[in-house]
Amino acid sequence: MLTRLLVTLAVLGALAFPAVAATIDETEIDVKTREVAKTLRCTVCQSESIWESGSPFARQVRENIRDRVEQGQSADEIRAYFLSRYGDYILMQPPARGVNWVVWIGPFVVLIVGGFFLYRTLNRWVASTPAAQAVEPLDESSRKRIERELHS
C-alpha cells in the first residue's frame, strides 16, 4: 500500500516538472549574439569561447556583441572588429595562413617524424636481438636433481 502511494507520487511529480519548467524565448538578436560569441575565444580563460566563459571579460564582450548586433552589424563585421583589437588569437579557429600554418600542420609533421624514428629504432632493436637458440635437453643428473628438489 505504501509503495503504491510512493510510486504514484513519484509519477505525478515527474509529470509535473514539465508544467513548471520555464520556456526561454530567444530573439533573433540572442541567436546572432550566441553564434558570434561561440566563434570568439575568451582571452582570460583561453580554452573557452566567449559564449561558454563566465569571466567578467566574456560578459562584457557578450554585451558588446549584443550591442553591435542591435546596431545592425553583420557577424563578419563584429568578428573583424574583435580581430582588429585582439589579433588572430581571439578566433576559436585561427585562419590557416602565415605563422598559423605551424599550428595547423605542426602536429602532423611531429607525428610523422616521430613515427619514422620509432619505426627505425624498433627495426634496429629487432635486428640486434640474437635469434632464439635451441634449448639443449637436460642431462640425466640435472633432471634427477630437479625431481629431488621438487619432491622434498
| pLDDT digits 0-9 by tens, 15-61 | 666 655 555 667 888 889 889 999 898 888 878 888 888 889 889 99
pLDDT score of 133: 67
Regarding whether 30 and 60 lie in a shared domain, the answer is yes
Q: Examine the pLDDT at 10 and tell me if it is beyond 60.
A: yes
Residue with cell 628438489: 149
Q: Does residue 13 lie within any of the structural domains?
A: no
Residues 35 and 55 in one domain: yes
Q: pTM here?
A: 0.52
CB 41 within 8 A of CB 90: yes
- Do residues 104 and 72 both lie within one domain? no
**Are residue 54 and residue 109 in the same domain, yes or no?**
no
> Would you say 58 and 44 are in contact if contact means Cβ atoms under 8 Å apart?
yes
Q: What is the pLDDT of residues 94-131, one digit of tens each?
A: 776 777 777 778 899 999 999 999 999 999 888 877 76
Based on its alpha-carbon atoms, the radius of gyration of the chain, rounded to whole angstroms, reads: 34
The reply to whether 48 and 81 lie within a common domain is yes
Q: Is the pLDDT of residue 77 over 90?
A: yes
Domain that includes residue 117, residue range: 96-123
Q: Is residue 45 part of a domain?
A: yes
Q: Whole-angstrom Cα distance, residue 119 to residue 27?
A: 57
Same domain flag for 55 and 114: no
- Into how many domains does the chain fold? 2
Is the C-alpha dihedral spanning 107, 105, 53, 31 positive or negative?
negative
